[in-house]
Amino acid sequence: MEQRQQVVKAFAARGVEPDAIVLGVTGTPGSGKSSLVARLTTHLLDHDHSLRIGVVAVDPSSHLSGGSLLGDRTRLRPSASSGRLFFRSQASATELGGLGPSSFQVCRLLAYLVDMVLVETVGVGQSEADVRHLADQVYLVLQPLGGDEVQFLKAGIIEVPHAFVLNKCDEPQAQQSLHHLQSSLWLARPFDTEPVPVFQTSAKTGQGIGELAEAMAATLHGAHPGIVGREPYFFERWVKDEWGRVGTAYLERSLGGSADCLVRSGGFEAAQRDFHDRLVASLTRAPVGAHP
């Protein structure tokens, strides 16, 4: 935590802002996310010779051993990126996937160093919510007739993404799946003012990669809140991970919520330290007999 604060200060002293755009790529296992991200990254780097990209690939950990096998790196062999690509694998520390405990911090650091951060996660249930809070744009990757369309509808996840990617569009059932998805969208997102983009890609043949990559590159020029705006959610998550329900209750009732906390303390690490000190003090000041 101390080191992190020093790093942040050092960046501030040099006038470097954490202004990278953060894009989330999520989808079920087997939808071909890793190959797709590899293709997109290569395309983006080849077409913009000043662009710097950070990839954070999160994969599930083994429930039994706590260990993990992170193999997404094998798909990427950038030839001419010459230091413009940074790739970090992360274990989710849970069996289902989603973001790992330090994913936010990794993205926060990368936001100072690169122009675009791609966060790749296994999307099952809760983790979509996490990605939505971390990323400025969320891309949900589906595969033809994987049956995911129905599953995503059920989980309410269809409401999350800013765009859909129908991958493996070279497969025979692709057209049918496209119709299925479009009709589901009409029903599930009646309040969209504009139609949600649906990209059709094939990481295998390269079809559609160019269009999707260009859409991603275009987000670089749009306004986005920046990673600092993401801090309240992840501060709350940190409190919950570290202190459980007692911590969450204390944050809400006694400190007026995470946004206030961050402002008062003047930064993430300072807020973490202040929170720790205050909570510990409040617990030790509690009247004798209040706790077993």
Partner 1 sequence: MLWLDAGQAAYRRDVTEQRAVHRLYDADGEPTRDKPWIIRTYAGHSSPKASNELYRKNLAAGQTGLSIAFDLPTQCGYSSDDPIAGPEIGKVGVPINTLDDMEFLFEGIPLEQMNTSMTINGTAMWLLALYVAVARERGEDVTKLTGTTQNDLVKEYLARGTYIYPPTESMRIIAEMYEFCLDAMPKWNASNICSYHLQEAGATPAQELAFALANALSLLDLLEQRGHFTPEQFERAVGRISFFVNAGIRFVEEMSKMRAFVELWDELLVERYGVQDEKYRRFRYGVQVNSLGLTETQPENNAWRILLEALGVTLSRNARCRALQLPAWNEAMSLPRPWDQQWSLRLQQILAYETDLLEYPDIFDGSPVIEAKVAELKAGAREEVDRIMEMGGVIPAIESGYMKSSLVRSMSERVSRINTGDQIVVGVNRWTESLPSPLLSGEDRGIFKLDESAIRDTVEHLEATKARRDPDRVARALDALQQAARDGTSMMEPSIECALARVTTGEWAGALREVFGEYRPATGVEGQQLNLSGDRVDALRARLDALTDALGHRPRLVVGKPGLDGHSNGAEVIAVSARHVGFDVIYSGIRLSAEEIVTSAVEEGADVIGASVLSGSHVALAEQIVDGLRANGAGHIRVVLGGIVPESDFEKLHAIGVRQVYTPANYQLLDIMDAIVGMLESDAEVPPPGGAVAS
The binding site for partner 1 (CB under 8 A) comprises 61-62, 65-71, 73-74, 77, 79, 86-89, 91, 204-206
Task: Identify whether the C-beta of residue 52 lies closer than 8 Å to the C-beta of residue 113.
Answer: yes
Residue 2 CB, nearest distance to partner 1 (Å)?
A: 13
Closer of 26 and 81 to partner 1 (Cβ): 81
Which one, of 115, 110, 160, lies nearest residue 139 by Cα? 160
Residue 87 CB, nearest distance to partner 1 (Å)?
A: 6
Residue 28 CB, nearest distance to partner 1 (Å)?
A: 16
Distance from the first to the final alpha carbon of the chain:
32
Residue 75 CB, nearest distance to partner 1 (Å)?
A: 8
CA 97 – CA 16 distance, rounded (Å): 32
Residue 133 CB, nearest distance to partner 1 (Å)?
A: 24
Which one, of 68, 259, 39, 260, lies nearest residue 141 by Cα? 39
Closer of 108 and 133 to partner 1 (Cβ): 108
Closer of 88 and 180 to partner 1 (Cβ): 88
Residue 128 CB, nearest distance to partner 1 (Å)?
A: 24
Closer of 113 and 196 to partner 1 (Cβ): 113
Q: Quick check: helix, strand or coil at residue 287?
A: coil
Burial 59-93 (b: 16+ CB within 10 A, else e): bbbeeeeeebeeebeebbeeeebeebbbbbbbbbe
Closer of 94 and 219 to partner 1 (Cβ): 94
Sheet holding 198-200, edge to edge: 85-91, 53-59, 116-122, 21-27, 137-142, 163-166, 198-200
DSSP, res 62: P
Closer of 68 and 94 to partner 1 (Cβ): 68
Residue 68 CB, nearest distance to partner 1 (Å)?
A: 5
Closer of 204 and 278 to partner 1 (Cβ): 204
CA 199 – CA 278 distance, rounded (Å): 49
